[in-house]
């Protein structure tokens, strides 16, 4: 085989150039092998090994002197010629779609079938002449002269296979560039250029016979590919900012997402939406209202005026709750935004909603308990401050009430009248009619006193048949007059009891703040002395220490 090579082949300019490009490709493959895991990393390394194979065969063909040796090395290049577009297409697909799982061994074996088959067809050409025709001869008779290849039927079939992969690569990266933006769009546009340059050179060679150094220009174009990748890696951070395909974001969302057109037909849905509806086929273009499980409820919600807000979708069949967000998909036109459809995002809030329901139930229970406790507290307070028989205030509330009224009177410089009342001969009434009738009399007297006082006045039961009245703002004369009226009206009106009407009279003693005492105890002593005076003088009358108000009736 060494006889096929010129003794000074390595000194030829094209050969040296090819060797340098091959060295750069090896360094690129070595650098990529040490980088972190990115989509298509393994296939990217295999791709560069295919380029290296192609460059090696091309360099050996350039260096060979005999025509048969040149045709042999041209045939040996076909694993790289067919493998490079194949691996390039797979790499672009994995990179654009963010596929990080490496190919299986079976996948690699499947990808090598076409390159090996093309190589076998080329190497077996001397027996069938269908790959390179009889016109495959040197350009001239000079030693090492380039070969003019007569492309046969099998060559053209393999070329069509290669160009189909080329078109697929262009479609993949062009679609990705249109769907992305910013730095990732620049990455994809660079991939478009890297894809086009080698295959434009190859198409020019195959279709129009263009050559470089009398040779296929495609291997030399890999110098541009190498420089382009170096610029992408160092200049725009290729493989540092890894792309994530936008459609994969939709696919990986755990919550259902639907895209509908203006006629409410579903044009796209992610796996979560299909799983929730129980659909796997024949769903695209189906009206939303016809979708199982939740379509009808969702369509009805979208027809409500609040459809632009966040709504709650309840699925009775599975006790699940979804927070529905609806956003218009618009495209700007000269006449304003044009609505292309809507995107519906269903967020599963079942756990949160159930927690909210339980919390609301717990709050309602707590509020009811609080109301009950408040009611019981009020009842207990009322029982503590009020007499259970008559409902009047008792002695416990007396100090608080008098303290407030005393403070007010001191601010406003007004008097306070106090009266002690005792029912006449109440023990005899109990002995004659019994304690139940006595209780009826006490309740009736309490009602009589309460109904004949002002709203600002207060009446207290401080003993068995003893009552105390506080009349804020009343002078001595006013208090005497009002007590005298109460005394007279009670004596004139028999009280109803369970044993019939009973006549009762009262005696009262009056004291006035501040002239007859400063403290409550002092006023009660003065009033008690006046009450004793009224009883001693015949009862059924009102008395004060200073002067009587009414004579004995």
Closest CA to 448 of 397, 394, 485, 478: 485
Q: Could you tell me if 39 and 248 are in contact, meaning their C-beta atoms sit under 8 angstroms apart?
A: no
Q: Is the pLDDT of residue 385 over 80?
A: no
Residue 252 annotated in active site = no
**Lowest mean pLDDT across 107-121, 312-326, 347-361, 424-438:** 312-326
Q: Is the pLDDT of residue 5 over 50?
A: no
Please report which confidence band the pLDDT of residue 44 belongs to, taking 50, 70 and 90 as the band edges: confident
Q: What angle, rounded to 10 degrees, do the helices at 218-235 and 41-63 form?
A: 140
Please report which confidence band the pLDDT of residue 294 belongs to, taking 50, 70 and 90 as the band edges: confident
Could you say which of 405, 465, 521, 533 is catalytic?
Answer: 465
Residue-wise pLDDT for 531-547, tens only, equals: 999 999 989 999 985 54
Q: Could you tell me if 265 and 282 are in contact, meaning their C-beta atoms sit under 8 angstroms apart?
A: no
User: What pTM does this model have?
Assistant: 0.51
Average pLDDT, the chain: 82
Closest CA to 347 of 329, 330, 326: 326
- Give the model's pLDDT for residue 316: 58
270's tokens: 């992610």
* Mean pLDDT of the region 282-289: 83
Please report which confidence band the pLDDT of residue 369 belongs to, taking 50, 70 and 90 as the band edges: confident
Q: Could you tell me if 79 and 118 are in contact, meaning their C-beta atoms sit under 8 angstroms apart?
A: yes
Q: Is the pLDDT of residue 1 over 50?
A: no
- Give the model's pLDDT for residue 221: 82
The secondary structure of the chain in percent helix, strand, coil, rounded to multiples of 5, reads 55, 15, 30
Q: Is the pLDDT of residue 415 over 90?
A: yes
Alpha-carbon distances, residue 505 vs 446, 470, 486, 547 (angstroms): 13, 20, 10, 21
- Give the model's pLDDT for residue 508: 93
Residue-wise pLDDT for 449-466, tens only, equals: 988 888 888 999 888 889
- The rounded radius of gyration (Å) of the Cα atoms in the chain is 54
């Amino acid at each position: 085989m060494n006889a096929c090579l010129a003794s000074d082949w390595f000194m030829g300019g094209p050969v040296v150039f090819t060797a340098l490009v091959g060295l750069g490709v090896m360094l690129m493959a070595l650098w990529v092998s040490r980088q972190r895991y990115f989509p298509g990393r393994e296939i990217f390394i295999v791709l560069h090994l295919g380029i290296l194979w192609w460059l090696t065969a091309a360099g050996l063909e350039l260096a060979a002197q005999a025509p048969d040796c040149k045709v042999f090395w041209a045939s040996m290049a076909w694993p790289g010629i067919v493998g490079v577009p194949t691996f390039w297409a797979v790499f672009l697909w994995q990179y654009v779609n963010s596929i990080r799982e490496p190919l299986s061994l079976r996948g690699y074996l499947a990808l090598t079938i076409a390159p090996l088959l093309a190589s076998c067809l080329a190497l077996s050409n001397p027996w069938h002449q269908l790959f390179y025709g009889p016109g495959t001869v040197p350009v001239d008779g000079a030693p090492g002269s380039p070969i003019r290849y007569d492309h046969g039927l099998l060559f053209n079939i393999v070329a069509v296979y290669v160009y189909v992969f080329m078109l697929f690569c262009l479609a993949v990266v062009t679609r990705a560039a249109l769907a992305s933006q910013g730095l990732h769009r620049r990455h994809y546009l660079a991939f478009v250029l890297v894809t086009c340059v080698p295959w434009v050179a190859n198409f020019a060679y195959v279709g129009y016979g263009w050559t470089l150094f009398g040779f296929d220009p495609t291997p030399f174009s890999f110098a541009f590919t190498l420089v382009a990748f170096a610029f992408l890696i160092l200049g725009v951070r290729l493989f540092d900012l890894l792309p994530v395909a936008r459609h994969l974001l939709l696919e990986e969302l755990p919550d259902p997402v639907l895209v509908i057109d203006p006629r409410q037909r579903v044009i796209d849905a992610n796996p979560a939406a299909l799983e929730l509806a129980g659909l796997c086929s024949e769903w695209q273009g189906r009206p939303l209202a016809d979708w199982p499980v939740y379509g009808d409820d969702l369509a009805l919600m979208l027809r409500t005026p609040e459809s632009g807000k966040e709504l709650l979708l309840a699925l009775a069949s599975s006790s699940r709750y979804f927070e529905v967000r609806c956003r218009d998909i618009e495209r700007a036109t000269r006449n304003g935004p044009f609505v292309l459809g809507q995107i519906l995002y269903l967020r599963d809030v079942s756990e949160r909603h159930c927690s909210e329901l339980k919390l609301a139930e717990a709050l309602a229970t707590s509020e009811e308990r609080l109301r009950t406790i408040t009611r019981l507290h009020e009842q207990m307070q009322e029982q503590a401050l009020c007499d259970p028989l008559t409902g009047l205030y008792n002695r416990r509330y007396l100090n608080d009430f008098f303290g407030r009224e005393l403070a007010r009177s001191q601010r406003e410089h007004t008097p306070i009248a106090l009266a002690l009342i005792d029912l006449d001969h109440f023990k005899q009434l109990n002995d004659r009619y019994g304690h139940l009738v006595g209780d009826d009399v006490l309740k009736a007297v309490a009602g009589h006193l309460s109904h004949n006082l002002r709203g600002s006045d207060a009446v207290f039961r401080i003993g068995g048949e003893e009552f105390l009245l506080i009349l804020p703002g009343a002078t001595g004369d006013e208090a005497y007059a009002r007590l005298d009226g109460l005394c007279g009206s009670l004596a004139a009106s028999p009280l109803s009891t369970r044993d019939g009407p009973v006549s009762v009279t009262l005696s009262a003693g009056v004291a006035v703040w501040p002239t007859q005492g400063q403290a409550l105890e002092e006023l009660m002593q003065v009033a008690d002395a006046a009450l004793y005076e009224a009883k001693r003088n015949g009862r059924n009358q009102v008395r004060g220490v200073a002067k009587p108000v009414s004579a004995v009736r």
